Amino acid sequence: MVFVGAAILPHGGMIFDGDPNSPIPQCRERNSSMPPDVVQKCSLLYNACERAADLVAKMNPDIVLLITPHGLELLSGAYAVYMSNAAQAKMDWIEVNISLEYKLSEQFLEFVQKQGLKADGILTFTGSEAPLQWGEGIPLWFLNKKLDSEKVKYIIVSCGYWGERFEDFGRTLHDFASTLQQRLAVVISADLAHTHKTDCTVPLYLPGNYS
């Protein structure tokens, strides 16, 4: 198995208000005008996202598999695998361009289906760039700053609001990684839900073989 580790990255836009030196004027303005305790929490979150991306870079992955709850969705509730060669996020100040590993995405989809899980592929505009939004774009923005975009490719899977059998999906993902020769890192895009009772969510790191 060449599973090298995993990280969870939140995808709320408030993260960017934690950078006092942000190249985005609106973020700098909010950073300077928010209550000190909110600035501190946003800064902790921003710095934690930077550290998480650093950790993923140290894993030296060939493939990053991104799982998002807020991406392109299938009304059937099936897991959706993005079936394109590239993807682009372009919203407000966020712009990210990445390469998708089409053949491996195809293999992953087939593997998941054989395990009895509901999954299908999403082909965007006859295979042109898949459009990304906050649920994919923010984690990828942090990752793309740290990873070599010439060497690393991505698989993106949307579980949507109706994703089911998560434990089964985790086992299937583990079994799939066991078939690979490439170094695979998993990144989970997490929502900053308004219903959380805690004040601040920080990324979770899962150790793997980073050598």
Q: Round the CA-based radius of gyration of the chain to a whole number and report it.
A: 17
Q: Find residue 155's DSSP bridge partners.
A: 65
Contact assessment for residue 58 and residue 146, using Cβ atoms and an 8 Å cutoff: no
Instruction: Give the pairing type, strands 63-68 and 119-122.
Output: unpaired
Pairwise CA distance, residues 179 & 156, whole Å: 18
Query: Rounded to two decimals, what is the model's pTM?
Result: 0.83
The pLDDT assigned to 162 comes to: 53
Q: Which two tokens stand for residue 80?
A: 């959706």
Instruction: Give the pairing type, strands 153-158 and 79-82.
Output: antiparallel
The pLDDT assigned to 107 comes to: 95
How is residue 100 annotated by DSSP? B
Residue 48 phi, psi (nearest 5): -65, -40
The pLDDT assigned to 192 comes to: 60
Q: Which two tokens stand for residue 108?
A: 């992953």
Residue 67, amino acid: I
Domain ranges of the chain: 3-206
The pLDDT assigned to 38 comes to: 82
The pLDDT assigned to 201 comes to: 42
> What superfamily does domain 3-206 belong to in CATH?
LigB-like (3.40.830.10)
Pairwise CA distance, residues 77 & 211, whole Å: 38
Q: Is 47 left (phi over 0), alpha (psi -120 to 50) or beta?
A: alpha
Taking the chain (211 residues) in runs of 10, the rounded mean pLDDT of each run is: 86 78 80 84 87 94 92 84 90 84 94 92 83 88 90 89 70 90 92 50 43 40
Residue 48, amino acid: A
The pLDDT assigned to 54 comes to: 95
The pLDDT assigned to 210 comes to: 40
